[in-house]
Amino acid sequence: MTQDLFASSPALRFEIQAQDGNARAGVLTTRRGVIETPVFMPVGTAGTVKAIRFEELESGDLDAKIILGNTYHLWLRPGIETIKACGGLHRFIGWDRALLTDSGGFQVWSLGALRKITEEGTEFRSHVDGSMQFLSPEVSMEVQAALGSDIVMVFDECAPGNAAYEETEKSVGLTSRWARRSRMAFDRMQMNGADTGHIEAPGLSGRQALFGIIQGASHLDLRHMSLEQTVEVGFDGYAIGGLSVGEEKSVMFDVISDLAPRMPADKPRYLMGVGTPEDLVEAVANGVDMFDCVLPTRNGRTGQAFTCRGKLNIKNARWVRDQRPLDEDCRCMVCRRHTRAYLRHLYLAGEMLASILLTHHNLAFFLDTMRSVRQSIRSGDFPKFRREFTERLDANGE
C-alpha cells in the first residue's frame, strides 16, 4: 500500500498539547505552515473568501492559517486546465498558507433534483452553462490534485439529516466504497506527481493529506459503521459530514457528542459546514478540532453581525445614530474605527463597503472565539469559558 511509503514522512503531523474534558488544543503541522487547533477555516468558494482581501485574512486582526476552496465551483469555472496552467490554486489566487478543498460531493448533493447518483458517481447539470457533468471519486481526486490543496477530502455521498434508516444505510455503504476508491485514486495521483501544490516541507512528505468523511445522518449505529469502515481505509484526518443539513439542532449534537469522542484520538477531527459560534464551542467541548462555515461571510453580506452578545441586525432602525462599534468587546479594525450608525448607513445605501466591513468583523469574531477557546483549554479554564460565552450570547444586545 502506498500509505506505508509515506508513513516515515507523513503529509501532516498532529499533536495534542492540552486536553480539558473532551476538548483538545493541538498543533497541526501542514506542508504550508503550523495551525493551532481548534481552528476555524473561512470558506473561499470560488477561489475567494467573498468580500475580503487576502491581506486582511493574513493580518494580525484575523490571521487565518487555512482557508477552504470548493472543488465543484473551481472545476466548473475557471476549470482545472486553467488552474494547472497557472501553477495550482495557491499561485492562481495568491495565497501561500494552507488550503483545504472539499470533494464537490456536497455541492452536487445540494443541487437536489438536478443530479443522478449511481455506483460509479454522480451525473448532474452544471449551474454555469447547463452542460451535463460527471463527478466520481476518481474525478474528484484528479481535480483536487490539480488544485494542489494541502488537505483533500474524499468524495462522499451525503444523506439528508432526517433521512430514513434504509436510505441512510445504502448511502453509508456507497460512501465507504467511494472512500476506498478515493484513497486508491489519491495515492496514484501522489505517485504520479499530479499534485500541483507539492513543496519541500521539513519532516513532511510534501504530499497532499487526505481526510475521510463519516456519514450516517442521525442514525448512531450507522455513524459507528461508517466510522469503522472509514478508519479501516486509513486517512490523515477524519471529518463528520452530513450535519447541519436540515435536522434539528438537538439531533446534530446527539450525533456529535456520541461520534466525536470515538474518532481516532491521534488524528484531527473536522466537523464540516457547522455552524454558529455557540455550535463551534459546543463541538469543541465534544472533541472536534476543525471547522468551516459560510455563516460569517454570508451573513456579513446580508447585514448580520455576530457579536459576543448575540446576533446584531445592522438594518435595525435603533442603530441610526448609535455611536458604539458592532461589538464593544471586539478589537478588530472595523470595531476600532466605525460605528453601528455608519455601518447601517452603508448597508442601506447599498454600498459594497458594508459587506466588506461586516465580513471582516464576523471573521474576526469567529477566529477570536477560537483563539479564546484554545487559550482556555490550555489554561484548564474551558468549562468556565464555555459557560460565560453562552451566558453572554443569551444576553442578546438587540
* Binds Zn ion (CB under 5 A): choice among 146, 147, 159, 332: 332
Of 20, 61, 102, 236, which one is the catalytic site residue? Answer: 102
Q: Is 340 in the site for Zn ion (CB under 5 A)?
A: no
Q: How far apart are CA 125 and CA 120, in angstroms?
A: 17
Minimum Å gap between C-beta 307 and Zn ion is 8
Minimum Å gap between C-beta 138 and Zn ion is 44
Stretch that binds Zn ion, among 7-15, 39-47, 294-302, 360-368 (CB under 5 A): 360-368
Distances 289 to 16, 28, 165, 385 between C-alpha atoms, Å: 10, 10, 28, 17
| Cβ distance to Zn ion smaller for residue 107 or 359 | 359
Give me the DSSP letters along 362-395: HHHHHHHHHHHHHHHHHTT-HHHHHHHHHHHHHS
Q: What is the dihedral of CA 249, 251, 256, 262, to 10 degrees?
A: 180
Q: Is 335 in the site for Zn ion (CB under 5 A)?
A: yes
* Binds Zn ion (CB under 5 A): choice among 204, 330, 354, 367: 330
Decide if 368 is catalytic. Answer: no
| Cβ distance to Zn ion smaller for residue 194 or 312 | 312
- Residue 115 pairs in a beta bridge with 124
Asked if 363 and 301 count as a contact pair (C-beta separation under 8 A), the reply is no
| Cβ distance to Zn ion smaller for residue 262 or 371 | 371
Stretch that binds Zn ion, among 10-18, 58-66, 237-245, 325-333 (CB under 5 A): 325-333
Can you give the length of the chain in residues?
398
Minimum Å gap between C-beta 332 and Zn ion is 3
User: What phi and psi values does residue 218 have, to the nearest 5 degrees?
Assistant: -95, 5
Half-sphere exposure of 243 toward its Cβ, with a 13 Å CA cutoff? Answer: 32
Q: How many residues bind Zn ion (CB under 5 A)?
A: 6
Of 20, 187, 292, 327, which one is the catalytic site residue? Answer: 292
Decide if 102 is catalytic. Answer: yes
Q: Which residues bind Zn ion (CB under 5 A)?
A: 330, 332, 334-335, 361, 364
